[in-house]
Amino acid sequence: FRRTNKPLISVFWADLVERLHNVRPSLKRQSRHYNSFYFLYDSGKKGFYYGWMFAPPDRKELWTQLSIDTRHSKSGLAKEYFNELKEQQQAIEDEIGESLTWDDQSLEHAVRIYAARPIRIYAPAEELEEVKSWAIGAIQRLADTMQPRIAELD
User: Residue-wise over 77-99: b if at least 16 C-beta within 10 A, else e?
Assistant: bbbebbeebeeeeeebbeebeee
**pLDDT over 70 for what percent of the chain?**
95
Contact 95, 142 (CB under 8 A): no
pTM of the complete model beyond 0.75? yes
pLDDT for the residue numbered 146: 98
Which residues, including other chains, have CB under 8 Å from residue 42's CB and lie 6 or more apart? 27, 28, 29, 30, 49
d(Cα 21, Cα 19) in Å, to the nearest integer? 5
Q: Is it the case that residue 122 has pLDDT exceeding 80?
A: yes
d(Cα 31, Cα 61) in Å, to the nearest integer? 20
Helix (H) or strand (E) holding 103: strand 101-103
